[in-house]
Structure 1
Amino acid sequence: MMASVYAGRTAVTGIGTSIPPYKLQQDEVFERIAESCRDDLDIMRWARRIFRQCGVETRYTCEPEFLEPAGKCRYLPDRPGMPVPSTAHRMNTYERESVPLAVHAAREAMADAGIGPANVTHLITVSCTGQFLPGLDSMLVQELGLPWRVNRIPLVFQGCHAGLKAVQLARTIAESQADYKVLIVCVELCTIHFQPPTSRETLFGASFFGDGASACIVETAADGQEHVFRLGQGHAVLVPDSREEMIWRVGDRGFDLYLSPDIPKRLKSFLREEAEMLLGKRSLPSLWAIHPGGRGIIDAVREMFALEESQVSYSRNVLKNFGNLSSATILFVLKEMKSELARQEIDRADGISLAFGPGLTAELMAFTYLSKAEAVQSAGSEGAYV
């Protein structure tokens, strides 16, 4: 029997998410942006266009200042020359706010998988919006009561694709020994890097990024375990001659982001070939977990593979309700998908997950949703599964 590209022995058995308490309505954010750049008609025009087209209605932030008028928000001063928060200030905010969000998401994921902290053998932490030491991984060991000897693996400053990269790494770890249980925790506080709207580039970040955390458990799926994503084959690709398309650098006033408007076009130039390499001669799956890096990216993938609107609805809903949460976003999408498939009482469906980040880097991974996990037998020495 041909080995399945979709369903290996390990699975995502539990997913958790968390968001900060402050809700940003897109029209209200635009009003604050407009107040901040009212004397620059070109920026105002671009802001109106970007905010209307990005596909976001609400987002969340850990910073209550964004609920204030522009003149009272240090991140969006209403006149030139006003001081804005330094990188050190933003990192202090990150250290204070990231841990509670990460803890909440991790506890929810463990509860969803039905395991306790003592069962976790590996901890992968993912973030690109802040750093401190002792790091998030050390804090989570203490806050969650994980074993002191848990294997800690931080993935730092990799960008939006790192959440799916962590899942691929966790799959490899969990496949190496049947009793390994990997906890992945992604936390991103994107809004603390908002910059005064002085260019189109700063408007992109202000228009669709939000804050939040997500977590999941990757382990050998037990027979009868409910609502799991069995993890199949996957790979990553670095796209040649595209390193200037997405840039994320540390600046004096936070991290400076540049996103090229040509990214959807670049995806169309290589993604079909990568999907064909992953799937071989198999037909396209029904489930698509796409990282919603923006409305244009979702549209590009839908058009490229002639997908139905229902197939990209999970990604659109996450973008609409939470914005782009960088590395944490892909688990929000899988949670949305899991909930809807359970509601529809779907027994089994194959899928593919896609995430994109600086490089340009694309992560691709096949999976199978099962309402109840089945026992899987090894099929040969190369680690393939039937």
Structure 2
Amino acid sequence: MTTLAVRAEDASVLARRPAITRMAGVGTAVAGTPISQPELLGLLEITNPKIRSVYLNSAIDRRHLTLPAADEHGRRAPEPQGDLLDKHKRIAIEMGAQALLTAVQRAGATLADLRHLCCVTSTGFLTPGLSALLMRELGIDPRCSRSDIVGMGCNAGLNALNVVSGWSAAHPGELAVVLCSEACSAAYALDGTMRTTVVNSLFGDGAAAVALVADSGVGDGSAGGPRILKFASYLITDAIDAMRYEWDREKDRFSFFLDPQIPYVVGAHAETVIGTLLDGTGLRRSDIAHWLVHSGGKKVIDAVVVNLGLTRHDVRHTIGVLRDYGNVSSGSFLFSYERLADEGVARPGEYGVLMTMGPGSTIEMALVQW
């Protein structure tokens, strides 16, 4: 049998596999005030040329942020950790509710159909978790099962998708939602250091939700969303400290650290993960029509493009999300997916790859088919 024949047979088998889950609807939401990078530099009174260059060369036009109120002198003082936790709770619920309702509606369902809610967040800690708070806020049936993924970082949306797709397979026809709600303003430290600048110049507030259902009942293909076929993960243990959220004893609050070398580390390992994802499917990278990559930053996107041999068009949605919202952490790839869905260009049978990266350092991927 020729190589082409083997590839065609493998792809045919993959296409006939029962859908683990279909992405039946997507919704996004933002909170706070849209603000450009130059405007933010002015509000924070940042004059250091080196720090200003980080903001102005970020490929970000604007982000949504909830900043502390100005004092009588027009200055914005850093918020104590307790106030930041309160901010996270308020914003995460506000954005999360909007994104959840939109995703369910686009799946052709209602909240009464919801049977499992999984909430993802890394910008604050809540007990009871965000899932319980949203169920109360929206009057969701208390018999709805729920789960919370906390602290995994920007890659966590795909970790949640992996877990909840398994729940869907065990409950065919029942509606589940993965919700990523990240109040990144609640993780800001306004201290003017370069460490803080790398974070403050990049992240924005945003929430994204995807409604999931296996092959019968609510949303059974009617939304035209892709089937989730396979996942692949990779933990770069040599870079385990490259992204971390830890307690700063000097400032008496949490602080996020992002190593400037992380884009190159991620890029160098991306080829390994895509190889694992496509292994056994008969597919090549050239067979992937749609790429939905986490908007981790300009250098991250560039590194992925170079190492996977992609074009700027392949990652146009990723670039657009970074430009318009900044890095909205775990929900970024769903912001990109929403743009692709709204374009209406995906055709039946086409394949796509979802890719996220975050602390660990971790790369997550999923293979989907329309």
TM-score using structure 2 length = 0.88
What's the CA shift for 1:70?
11
Query: Does 1:106 pair with 2:100?
Result: yes
Q: CA RMSD in A?
A: 2.1
Residue 365 of structure 1 corresponds to 366
Residue 79 of structure 1 corresponds to none
Measure the CA separation in 1 of the matches of 2:160 and 2:140. Answer: 19
Amino acid at match of 2:202: F
Counting only pairs closer than 5 Å after superposition, residues 275-294 of structure 1 correspond to structure 2 as 275-280=274-279, 281-284=282-285, 285-294=288-297
Pick aligned residue for 2:175 from 175, 178, 181: 181
Note if contact 1:6-1:350 (Cα within 8 Å) is conserved in structure 2: no
Residue 297 of structure 1 corresponds to 300
Note if contact 1:124-1:184 (Cα within 8 Å) is conserved in structure 2: yes
Pick aligned residue for 1:53 from 52, 57, 61: 57
Pick aligned residue for 2:238 from 224, 237, 241: 241
Counting only pairs closer than 5 Å after superposition, residues 1-40 of structure 1 correspond to structure 2 as 1-2=9-10, 3-4=13-14, 8-33=19-44, 35-36=45-46, 38=47
Name which of structure 1's ranges 194-203 and 318-327 shifts more when overlaid on structure 2: 194-203
Measure the CA separation in 1 of the matches of 2:166 and 2:134. Answer: 22
**1:253–1:312 distance in 2 versus 1, CA, 3 Å:** farther
Note if contact 2:107-2:223 (Cα within 8 Å) is conserved in structure 1: no
Name which of structure 1's ranges 257-266 and 131-140 shifts more when overlaid on structure 2: 131-140
**1:63–1:48 distance in 2 versus 1, CA, 3 Å:** closer
**1:196–1:71 distance in 2 versus 1, CA, 3 Å:** farther
Query: Does 1:62 pair with 2:72?
Result: no
Residue 262 of structure 2 corresponds to 263
Measure the CA separation in 1 of the matches of 2:29 and 2:299. Answer: 26
Residue 352 of structure 1 corresponds to 353
Measure the CA separation in 2 of the matches of 1:240 and 1:148. Answer: 40
**1:73–1:267 distance in 2 versus 1, CA, 3 Å:** same
Note if contact 2:267-2:307 (Cα within 8 Å) is conserved in structure 1: yes
Name which of structure 1's ranges 151-160 and 45-54 shifts more when overlaid on structure 2: 45-54
What's the CA shift for 1:345?
6.8
Amino acid at match of 1:190: C
Query: Does 1:225 pair with 2:235?
Result: no
Amino acid at match of 2:27: G
**1:85–1:5 distance in 2 versus 1, CA, 3 Å:** farther
Amino acid at match of 1:85: E
Measure the CA separation in 2 of the matches of 1:137 and 1:296. Answer: 33
Q: Tell me how many residue pairs correspond in the alignment.
A: 350
Name which of structure 1's ranges 273-282 and 220-229 shifts more when overlaid on structure 2: 220-229
Note if contact 1:85-1:253 (Cα within 8 Å) is conserved in structure 2: no
**1:70–1:256 distance in 2 versus 1, CA, 3 Å:** farther
Q: For structure 1, which runs of at least 5 residues remain unmatched after alignment?
A: 39-43, 76-83, 371-386
Measure the CA separation in 1 of the matches of 2:300 and 2:91. Answer: 29
Measure the CA separation in 2 of the matches of 1:221 and 1:311. Answer: 29
Measure the CA separation in 2 of the matches of 1:244 and 1:6. Answer: 42
Measure the CA separation in 2 of the matches of 1:146 and 1:113. Answer: 17
**1:56–1:253 distance in 2 versus 1, CA, 3 Å:** farther
Deviation by residue 1:144-196 (Cα, 9 ceiling, x = unmatched): 23221211111011100111111111111111231332111111111222222
Residue 74 of structure 1 corresponds to 76
Residue 335 of structure 1 corresponds to 338
Amino acid at match of 1:264: P
**1:345–1:304 distance in 2 versus 1, CA, 3 Å:** closer
Measure the CA separation in 1 of the matches of 2:57 and 2:72. Answer: 22
- Identity of matched residues, %: 25
Secondary structure in 2 matching 1:121 = strand
Measure the CA separation in 2 of the matches of 1:10 and 1:305. Answer: 27
**1:198–1:27 distance in 2 versus 1, CA, 3 Å:** closer
